[in-house]
Structure formats: structure tokens, C-alpha cells
Amino acid sequence: MKKILVSTGGGDCPGLNAVIRGIFKAARKSKEWEVWGCMEALNGLDADPPEIVKLTQKRTAGIHVKGGTILKTSNTANPLAYPVVQKDGSIKRVNRIPELAKKVKKLGFDALINIGGDGSQTISQALYENGLNVVGVPKTIDNDLSATDLTFGFTTAVQIASDCFDKLVTTAESHHRVMIMEVMGRDAGWIALHTAVAGGAEICLMPEIPYDIDKIVKRIRKRFNKRKGFVNIVIAEGAKPLGGKVVGRAAATAKDEHLKLGGVCNALRYELEQHPDMPKVQVRSTILGHIQRGGTPMAFDRILATSMGVKAFELVAAGDFGKMVSFQSNELTSVPIKEAIAEYNFVSKDHYLVHVARSIGIAFGD
């Protein structure tokens, strides 16, 4: 039997388990491959003995409906820049890719399927260039990978955000308030844009379109007659004012390189409350945070994730390595991982949904 190792890296996302199950079922049917899972992204390779588990019918049965990942995940300890504490206490970043590629081969694996976002796929490409047979599966609720029309998890995240938005609309209406809801979206505003259109927001703020506070206040004024009226705003965590910065704080440990975004809705609330032209109404803010990443994947995401798992196995079986599974124009296909990580999927100002949003009166603060 030939052996595949599967890992899930980066932030979790509804649909990861459906991919794992898809790979397992397709491989079992081939009768030529067995599938193993590496625990906590590739960190499982560092344990002694390595934390790897053989996937079985029992371990994978019914997991497609569950959120999270049975293999656990991690978005710390990037092997391309692994932090090693030096004698003087300083941190040196080392490239552990050659070492990890060797470990995977030494454990007898013929291929690795790495499920993850742009960071994980950059690791996939580096492992591939170090001689490992790698196939990538794209994952992100932010939908910010350019080589695929959609990633699983995104639709579920938008549904969760839209459900929460609907709840905030009724309370905004009852109290004549301005409600600001912060959604995920570090560099790309896809969740914010889709939620704004689905929910009927008055204002949508995204990383791609820095906002002008005066324009936001102008839009709010339009909705209030004396103190009567209400406004619902969706803001992506990575949104920023014109000439301003994102709101976040540095990660607590050296193993985590990412700025922890969060709180821009509170900064906006403060700006609005201080603005001289703001109607004298109450403003409230809500951060959805990781709620958007948890729980049961929607049917669409289960289907997309299962399909991507099957396709990933087929690429392995065909010996077509260095590729990432992709969903384009309603077809499953694959692209070189190198191409997939070359560009980011930002919301462009002329995207059809931005046009739709503007046409129904949603303001972007520009």
C-alpha cells in the first residue's frame, strides 16, 4: 500500500472534516492507498514518536457535518521562519522545510496533501521544491485566495454573519440606534461585502476601500429624521480610515507572526460619537470574531469540501504534484501552487457585487 499524509494548517474553517473524509473515502476505494493524518498542522512531525494517525472508516464516519478539524490545526510555528531562541535570548528565524520534507519521506509517505490558506500553501510550495510530492487544498473563510473562485467555509461564514446581522437590525430599529457589526476579513472584504448585501446594510467598510468618516456621518444623517431612524454598518476587521492604520495588537508569542486584528468597530464607534455632525443617537458595536469560523458547515460547503478532497486524492493518484485543487467556473480543476500563492484575491472596486451594493444604496465610506 502507498501512503498519503494529510494535514490541516492555519485557522480552522467549516468544511475541513469533509475534505479529510473525501480524501479517505476516495483512497479507500482505490485499494492502493492508505491515508494518515498529521496532528496540529505539521507540528505532529516534531513529536517523538510523531503524532500521526491512520485514518479509518471509524475515525472519519460522519465527520463531514462537524465544524473544526479532527486533525487539529495551528497557525503558529511557521516552518519557513521558525523561531529559535538564541543563547542571548534573541530569536533567530530558521527555515525548517528541508528537515520536514526529509521527515515525511523517512516515515514512508509517498505524498502529502496540505489543506490550508495562503500561508499553508506557501509551505506546500516550499516542501514541493524540496522534493516532496505535495498537493494543496485551499482553505479560508476569508475567500482571499486568487486561484479559486470560492473556498469552502466562506459561504458558511457569510451565513453566520448574515444571521447575526438580521438580529442586530431588529434591535437597531427598536432603539433608533446605529449598530456596527465587525466581521473577519484581514486583507479582503468578501465576508463584509456579501453580508452587507444579504442583510441590507446601509454602510459596508472593507480593507480595500479606506473610509472617510465625514462621508459615513453624512450617510447616517440621511437615515435619521430628528432622532428617529436606524443604521446598520458592517465593517471588516482589516478596514481602516483614509490615511489611518488597522486596529489590532501584536501576537503574544514569537511563534505567532500575525497581528491580531479586532476592535475596529469600537474605534469607529468612538469616531462617530465624537464627530460634530453626527446626529445625537446611540451607537453600539459588536465583534463576531471566531463565531464565524465555528460550527456546522452549510450543505454547499460540505459538497465543495468533499469534492475538493476527492480531487486532491485523484491528483495524488495521477502523480500530478505541485498542484492546488481549485474551483473555477463551476468545475473542479487544479492550478500550480506557485500560481495560486502569487496573487491575492482582493475585492476590486469594479467587482459586480460592489456595483450591486452601490445600486441598492449601500455606502462604502468613499
Q: Which residues pair with residue 333 across a beta bridge? A: 326
Cα–Cα distance for residue pair 278/272, rounded to 1 Å = 7
> Would you give the binding string for ligand F6P spanning residues 195-224, x where CB under 6 A is met?
------------------------------
> Footprint of ligand F6P on residues 229-248 (CB under 6 A)?
237
> Would you give the binding string for ligand F6P spanning residues 102-121, x where CB under 6 A is met?
---------------x----
> Footprint of ligand F6P on residues 243-282 (CB under 6 A)?
258, 261
The stretch among 95-103, 135-143, 301-309, 339-347 that binds ligand F6P (CB under 6 A) is 135-143
Give me the least distance between CB of 293 and ligand F6P, in Å please: 6
Cα–Cα distance for residue pair 239/181, rounded to 1 Å = 12
Cα–Cα distance for residue pair 289/182, rounded to 1 Å = 8
DSSP class per residue in 13-79? -TTHHHHHHHHHHHHHHHTSEEEEEESTTTGGGGSSS--EEE--HHHHTTGGG-SS-TT---S---G
Cα–Cα distance for residue pair 248/293, rounded to 1 Å = 19
Phi, psi (5° rounding) for residue 37?
Answer: -115, 140
Which cell is 333 given?
480543476
The stretch among 24-32, 136-144, 299-307, 320-328 that binds ligand F6P (CB under 6 A) is 136-144
| 111 or 288: CB nearest ligand F6P | 288
Give me the least distance between CB of 259 and ligand F6P, in Å please: 8
Query: Which residue from 16, 141, 216, 363 is in contact with ligand F6P, where contact means CB under 6 A?
Result: 141
Cα–Cα distance for residue pair 320/336, rounded to 1 Å = 10
Catalytic residue numbers read 142
| 141 or 158: CB nearest ligand F6P | 141
Phi, psi (5° rounding) for residue 32?
Answer: -115, -15
| Binding flag, residue 142, ligand F6P (CB under 6 A) | yes
| Binding flag, residue 79, ligand F6P (CB under 6 A) | no
Query: Which residue from 19, 184, 209, 308 is in contact with ligand F6P, where contact means CB under 6 A?
Result: 184
| 260 or 358: CB nearest ligand F6P | 260
| Binding flag, residue 153, ligand F6P (CB under 6 A) | no
| Binding flag, residue 140, ligand F6P (CB under 6 A) | yes
| 236 or 283: CB nearest ligand F6P | 236
185: left (phi over 0), alpha (psi -120 to 50) or beta: left
Cα–Cα distance for residue pair 158/181, rounded to 1 Å = 13
Q: Which residues pair with residue 116 across a beta bridge? A: 138
| 52 or 341: CB nearest ligand F6P | 341
Report whether 192 contacts 205 (CB < 8 A): yes
Per DSSP, the three-state class of 89 is coil
Report whether 295 contacts 151 (CB < 8 A): no
| Binding flag, residue 168, ligand F6P (CB under 6 A) | no
Give me the least distance between CB of 366 and ligand F6P, in Å please: 22
Query: What distance lies between CA 300 and its chain's CA centroid?
Result: 16
Report the candidate in 138, 118, 104 with the shortest Cα–Cα distance to residue 4.
104
Query: Which residue from 43, 74, 75, 345 is in contact with ligand F6P, where contact means CB under 6 A?
Result: 75
Q: Which residues bind ligand F6P (CB under 6 A)?
A: 11, 75, 117, 140-142, 184-186, 237, 258, 261, 293
